[in-house]
Structure 1
Amino acid sequence: MQLLPPMRFRFLDEQDQATYGDGWCTYDESALVRVPARELVEIERQIGMGVRDMLNRARLDFTDGNLAAMWTARRLAGVDEPFEKFTPLVLLVDWEPVPATADADPPAQTSSPSPESAEA
């Protein structure tokens, strides 16, 4: 399987922005394939599908694939939340390739805790 170049996404819905942040988060398949096997097993357990299935379904723009890809990207950025509690409006998310130039708008990672996890 050939890996796609990194993509970034941000939430457009105001409630999702309040819950998950309004900055860019990077979805990077090359980073995902370098995750240790036991962590991949845990990701697969939480998203309810194999990583390869997630990659394929996200590429085909299936809702479950996009949801799993966004959650996985946030997890790799350090956001600790159960998949079952990740409920953004998937069709109201802006996706674009990560800019190649250093002077482009750099992607802001959504690694800060969401309001719910900050209270825990």
Structure 2
Amino acid sequence: MGRELPAIRFRFAEVDREAYGDGWHDFDQEKLNGLRARALMALDDELRAELGLSVVSAVASMLRGEMAGTVGVMWLALHLGGSPVKLADFNPLPMLAEMQLGDPPAEGGDQ
């Protein structure tokens, strides 16, 4: 994505934790940056079909506080973490999720 993003962490609302996981979820920029072109294009296609946003625009939208971007980034974090949940089936309560934005993680630091 070119530049280092702030650390993005979230925890789903209690009612969503059984479906999407308990604990904190991190948006893994390194993992996203390490995806091959075809994998990135497939993510772009899925996000565009469901939310009208590309991967890059979903992150930018989330950082502006827009709901579609927030949902997109939450799903991307799950997807990059290995979750099989399809975006078309992803329907959390994003306004009730706890979100944390911070400085980018330091090299070799704990996340």
What is the TM-score with the length of structure 1 in the denominator?
0.74
After TM superposition, the structure 1 = structure 2 runs for residues 6-25 of structure 1, keeping only pairs within 5 Å, are 6-12=7-13, 14-25=14-25
Are 1:77 and 2:78 counterparts? no
Contact preservation (8 Å) 1:5, 1:28? no
- Structure 1 ranges of 4+ moved more than 6 A: 98-101
Tell me by how many angstroms 1:46 deviates: 1.2
Query: Counterparts of 2:66 and 2:32 in 1: how far apart (Å)?
Result: 19
| Aligned counterpart, 1:58 | 62
More moved, 76-85 vs 46-55: 46-55
| Aligned counterpart, 1:34 | 34
Any unmatched runs of 5+ in structure 1?
107-120
Tell me by how many angstroms 1:9 deviates: 0.7
Tell me by how many angstroms 1:61 deviates: 1.3
Are 1:92 and 2:96 counterparts? yes
Query: Counterparts of 1:99 and 1:56 in 2: how far apart (Å)?
Result: 18
Query: Counterparts of 2:85 and 2:3 in 1: how far apart (Å)?
Result: 29
Tell me by how many angstroms 1:7 deviates: 1.8
| Aligned counterpart, 1:115 | none
Identity of aligned residues (%): 30
Tell me by how many angstroms 1:99 deviates: 7.6
Tell me by how many angstroms 1:90 deviates: 0.9
Query: Counterparts of 1:9 and 1:99 in 2: how far apart (Å)?
Result: 15
Query: Counterparts of 2:31 and 2:7 in 1: how far apart (Å)?
Result: 9
Query: Counterparts of 2:61 and 2:28 in 1: how far apart (Å)?
Result: 15
Tell me by how many angstroms 1:37 deviates: 1.1
Partner secondary structure for residue 9 of structure 2: strand
What is the TM-score with the length of structure 2 in the denominator?
0.79
